[in-house]
Amino acid sequence: MSQGTGQSHQTGCEAQERSVRERRVSLGEDHPETLTAELELADCLWAQGRLIAARQLEEHVVKERRRQLGAGHAETLKAIGKLAVSFGAQGNLAEARALQEEVVNGRRTLFGDTDLETLRARNNLAGTIAAQGDFSAARELLEDVLSTTCREYGEEHPDSITTMSNLAAVLWQAGDQNEAYAFQRHVVEMKRRVHGDASQPTQAAAAVLGMMERDAGL
């Protein structure tokens, strides 16, 4: 979720808090427009680091969207995905993984395996699996996502590059330093082609590569 100045977040959250209050009074707590406003408020609270308050709103939205729209509806899955991120950020990886698996399965049913949001959901799931220490399963999942994303959208697509970077990180965590370094070096090369040498994305990727070089003595 995006970061910014504290003042802009405060102003935004105040506006969203007012929007939620107004919709609860005029439309009711469980009206679809109220639920949408609650998710927007949750995003703002999340950006401020108020994760418990954000998660409580997300849990309410998920509960109501499951009831009103069904577990497999796209809007329900969107809310579940946000809730999963909150659980993961608070260290509840098992709950985050279960929710992310639900999102992946639901999006596959609705939109297919090659849909970008489906691929992103699988990428997020791989991150949680890696955080649980199952690097083999995370690697297998990321390799499949990378293959599909490159085939469908091209190697220089932002999602392809992000997935390759995530795969490099998982390989590094798993102890496969040489392969991780090779992937990260390719990430840097692609970011240079897409963004230029002096860009922040290129510099950030190069910094990771430099860390790998120092730590592994490459």
pLDDT tens, residue by residue, 29-39: 999 999 999 99
How long, in residues, is the chain?
A: 218
Yes or no: say if 60 and 100 are a contact pair by the CB < 8 Å rule: no
> Which pTM value belongs to this model?
0.86
Determine the number of helices (DSSP H) and then strands (DSSP E) in the chain.
10, 0
Give whole-number Cα distances, 47 to 7, 104, 106, 174, 186, in Å: 12, 24, 27, 31, 31
- Model confidence at 8, pLDDT cuts 50, 70, 90, reads very low
Kindly report the average pLDDT of the chain as a whole number.
92
- Residue 69, both tokens: 């729209």
How far apart are the C-alpha atoms of 115 and 104, rounded to whole Å? Answer: 11
The residue type at 8: S
Looking at residue 217, the DSSP 8-state letter turns out to be: T
pLDDT in tens, 94-144: 999 999 999 999 999 999 999 999 999 999 999 999 999 999 999 999 999
CA 216 to chain centre: 29
Tokens 């707590």 map to which residue?
Answer: 29
- Model confidence at 11, pLDDT cuts 50, 70, 90, reads low
pLDDT of residue 59: 97
How far apart are the C-alpha atoms of 215 and 139, rounded to whole Å? Answer: 21
Choose the weakest-confidence range: 19-23, 144-148, 186-190, 211-215: 211-215
Yes or no: say if 171 and 182 are a contact pair by the CB < 8 Å rule: no
Helix axes 93-111, 116-131, angle to 10 degrees: 160
Topology of 1-111 in CATH?
Answer: 1.25.40
Nearest C-alpha neighbor of 186 from the set 163, 215, 214, 217:
163
CA end-to-end distance (rounded Å), the chain = 34
